Amino acid sequence: MIELISADRCVTCDRCIEACPTNVFDRGVDGVPVIARQADCQTCFMCEAYCPTDALFVAPTVAPLPAGDPLRDEEHLVATGLLGSYRAGIGWGHGRTPGSRLAVGPDITPPA
Amino acid sequence: MIDILDLTADVLVAGGGPAGAWAALKAAQAGADVILVDKGYTGTSGATASAGTGVWYVEPQAREAAMASREHLNGHLSDRRWMARVLDQTYANIHELATTGRYPFPILADGSELRRGVQGPEYMRRMRAWLKRGGVRVLDHSPALELLTDPTGAVAGVAGHRRQLDQPYRVRAGAVVLATGGCAFLSRALGCDVNTGDGALFAAEVGATLSGMEFSNAYAIAPEFSSVTKTAYYNYATFYREDGTVLEGAASQSGRSVIARALLNERVFARLDLADDTVRAAMRRGQPNFFLPFDRMRIDPFEDRFPITLLLEGTVRGTGGVRVVDDDCSTGVPGLYVAGDVATRELICGGFTGGGSHNSAWAMSSGTWAGTAAARHAAALGTTARRRRPVSAGQAGLRPTGVVSGDHREVVRAVQAETHPYLKNYLRRGDRLDQALATLDELWADTRAHLHGSPVEARQAAAMVAHARWMYTAALARTESRGMHKRLDHPGTDPSRRHRLLVGGLDELWTAADPVRPHTPLDLAVAS
């Protein structure tokens, strides 16, 4: 589920509020989005993909994480390279090659 | 309450996944003024956007084999004529996506493009941009809630709600394409939580029929803690018990019920230990999001055993849906067309879909036909379409017949308790289906009479109850095992039941054998 919005990185562009398919965010008073309906988050990672400044982090768990979990800690996420890793993985962002250009997957024919 | 937003269009498309996007695009290309309304955001909504999918893109010389390879698995309920036209249409659409749509496919060593799959985020981002270029008006976060009809019963538009503005809207239109997806009962399967079966309920309320609803028990493999389903990659997995011994018979294909049975009593673990280094690298390139749960939880899926679960994909991957009555994806209700997972996919998949490639091919093909036909229908009506007096068709969840009580969350919990459990929906048996259906019938009566509140959530809850009742009514009527529908009390396939099964109704449900026999080589053999 969505666990982090970095106020330092956020440029208040509203892209996540727009792009979230289950309408999880509201606009905060300072323009920085707030996680208003975390229980509606379907852990689809799309907000991360659409954030131009890698200000969001979606933990891969479908239940909320406890306070103090490292995956809610911006410093930890930056140090481990996890913040922004999905956007990098699909090759979105200036100067990157779209991941779809490289997406030659494995043979997934079921074994005979 | 803010005043209602009142709009008109030639064609209204409900749903902005691949089927809705293609429908809107093709309607606009045919000259129609098009509005697309999406529950979420066109570009991220639906089962495709957050995933990656194969595409049933087959060179002409390989098509015969491609069609034949699926017929046994699907219970011989698919139709060669439909398969052939979907293969043709998909081939054309993918070419258009690569050229006009500017989708960046991988380029192979010989300079050709590999066009057998798409990455969801890129595909749907390109579709959105293409829709905008084509003049389609997109209303995001604006779920349709019901159809509008004219006094003759023809579909004349939709009414819905703009969630972020808390504003009701109405669009009067000459024709409507429903592309709202299947129903996964809010299981958290990747990207599926917007797919609550809304369109099937809308269609049934104006008299459309459903088909193949017994083929609604698809479950996908995901890490236990996660939403990320990519069952095909588990072809490279070995499955284990907690003590590290191999779970015999468990497999991604033809062994998933072994996993379901084990999960009733114990945890099940997987390790992708059949993947060599080449495959490992290809998996990461092919679908980066598959690795998000692992990378973020510090799990090496090739070396570590990790716990797995099975998440319900219902009629998203199951093949049931609104019956398609003609080549143009019409429904028998004037002005109403269906595309993608809201429509039955039996025409090309019969009673089983393994991977996503047929589903994506169906979405773009049915979207093309439905959008084109809707534009033609609206053009034939001309300006009379806008003079019609629309009547609201929505019932359960919107217009309770009794005293308002209860809460949509309770209804959702109750319907999930009858649809998610493997013992009820996956490992099907008559007595358990009977009991679940009785509970659902009561839940429906209660919902119909009393549920009201937040319009979007109440309507979703009602749609899920309706969906579950059609599923189990059809599952009880098909007293055999065929395709993905396996009955423990009827394990064999009955040759006299090689027909599709229709189900319909809202309060009183009915089933009927579909007399149209699918056109397959079996029939040709009998004929000669």
**Partners of B170 in the β-ladder:** B6, B159
- Provide the pLDDT confidence category of residue B333 given band limits of 50, 70 and 90: very high
The whole-number pLDDT of residue B383 equals 86
CB B78 within 8 A of CB B346: yes
Question: Measuring CA to CA, which residue among B411, B326, B333, B409 is closest to residue B369?
Answer: B326
Q: Is B352 on the interface with A (CB under 8 A)?
A: no
- Residue B524 resides in a domain: no
Q: For B146-206, give the DSSP string.
A: EEEE-TTS-EEEEEEEETTTTEEEEEEEEEEEE----B-TT---TTGGG-BSHHHHHHHHT
Residues B9 and B122 in one domain: yes
Residues B421 and B447 in one domain: yes
ipTM of the complex as predicted: 0.96
- Residue B198 resides in a domain: yes
Residue spans of alpha helices (H) in B382-429: 384-387, 408-419
Question: Measuring CA to CA, which residue among B285, B246, B279, B241 is closest to residue B263?
Answer: B241
Percentage of the residues of chain A whose pLDDT score is greater than 70: 96
- Residue B261 resides in a domain: yes
Question: Measuring CA to CA, which residue among B75, B74, B57 is closest to residue B66?
Answer: B57
- Residue B521 resides in a domain: no
Strands A56-58 and B5-14: unpaired
Question: Measuring CA to CA, which residue among B371, B372, B344, B369 is closest to residue B358?
Answer: B344
Task: Pick the residue of B44, B125, B196, B231 with the most A CBs within 10 A to test the interface with A by mutation.
Answer: B44
Choosing from B313, B328, B351, the residue where a domain stops is: B313
Cβ B41–A20 below 8 Å, yes or no? yes
Residues B59 and B208 in one domain: yes
Q: Identify residues of A whose CB sits under 8 angstroms from chain B CBs.
A: 17-23, 40, 42-46, 49-50, 59-63, 71, 82, 85-86, 89-90, 92, 98-111
Ramachandran angles phi, psi of B51, nearest 5°: -115, -160
Q: For residue B279, give the nearest of A44, A100, A106 by CB distance.
A: A106
Is residue B151 over pLDDT 60?
A: yes
> Each residue of B256-314: pLDDT tens digit?
999 999 999 999 999 999 999 999 999 999 999 999 999 999 999 999 999 999 999 99
In whole angstroms, how far apart are CA B59 and each of B84, B104, B191, B357, B367? 12, 20, 30, 14, 21
Q: Is B226 helix (H, G, I), strand (E, B) or coil?
A: coil
Q: Which amino acid is residue B62, in one-letter code?
A: A
Residues B349 and B428 in one domain: no
Fold of A2-97: Alpha-Beta Plaits (3.30.70)
Q: Across all residues in chain B, what is the average pLDDT?
A: 95
Distance (Å, whole) CA B115 – CA B169: 39
> Each residue of A53-94: pLDDT tens digit?
999 999 999 999 999 999 999 999 999 999 999 999 999 999
Choosing from B313, B330, B360, the residue where a domain stops is: B313
- Over residues B159-178, mean pLDDT: 97
Cβ B291–A17 below 8 Å, yes or no? no
- Provide the pLDDT confidence category of residue B523 given band limits of 50, 70 and 90: low
The whole-number pLDDT of residue A84 equals 97
Distance (Å, whole) CA B352 – CA B471: 15
Task: Pick the residue of B39, B42, B50, B253 with the most A CBs within 10 A to test the interface with A by mutation.
Answer: B50
Distance (Å, whole) CA A53 – CA A40: 23
Chain B residues 243-302 within an 8 A CB cutoff of chain A:
252-254, 275, 278-279, 282-283, 285-289, 291-293, 295-297
The whole-number pLDDT of residue B231 equals 87
Q: Cβ atoms within 10 A of the Cβ of A28, count?
A: 15
- Over residues B54-72, mean pLDDT: 92
- Provide the pLDDT confidence category of residue B230 given band limits of 50, 70 and 90: confident
Q: For residue B44, give the nearest of A19, A86, A99 by CB distance.
A: A19
Question: Measuring CA to CA, which residue among A7, A80, A108 is closest to residue B237?
Answer: A108
Residues B366 and B412 in one domain: no
CATH of the domain at B467: 1.20.58.100
- Residue B129 resides in a domain: yes
* Count of structural domains, chain B: 3
Q: For residue A44, give the nearest of B39, B191, B293 by CB distance.
A: B191
Cβ B285–A110 below 8 Å, yes or no? no
Closest Cα of chain A to B380: distance in Å?
35
- Residue B170 resides in a domain: yes
The whole-number pLDDT of residue B86 equals 97
* Cα Rg, chain B, nearest whole Å: 22
The whole-number pLDDT of residue B527 equals 44
Task: Retrieve residue B30's tokens.
Answer: 């045919």
Give the start-to-end residue ranges of the domains of chain A: 2-97
Distance (Å, whole) CA B283 – CA B236: 11
The whole-number pLDDT of residue B517 equals 67
Chain B residues touching residue A61 (CB < 8 angstroms): 225-226, 297
Choosing from B349, B364, B391, the residue where a domain stops is: B391
**Residue that the structure tokens 């299947």 belong to:** B182
Residues B291 and B340 in one domain: no
Residues B274 and B342 in one domain: no
- Over residues A93-105, mean pLDDT: 94
Cβ B122–A100 below 8 Å, yes or no? yes
Residues B283 and B320 in one domain: no
- Domain range for B73 is 5-216+315-391
Q: For residue B117, give the nearest of A19, A82, A105 by CB distance.
A: A105
- Provide the pLDDT confidence category of residue A110 given band limits of 50, 70 and 90: low
Residues B387 and B243 in one domain: no
Long-range contacts of A92-97 (CB under 8 A, 24+ apart): A92/A49, A92/B121, A93/A52
- Residue B526 resides in a domain: no
- Sequence-distant (6+) residues with CB within 8 A of B118 are A100, B48, B52, B53, B55, B97, B103, B360
Residues B343 and B459 in one domain: no
Residues B239 and B182 in one domain: no
> Each residue of B76-85: pLDDT tens digit?
999 999 999 9
CATH of the domain at B320: 3.50.50.60
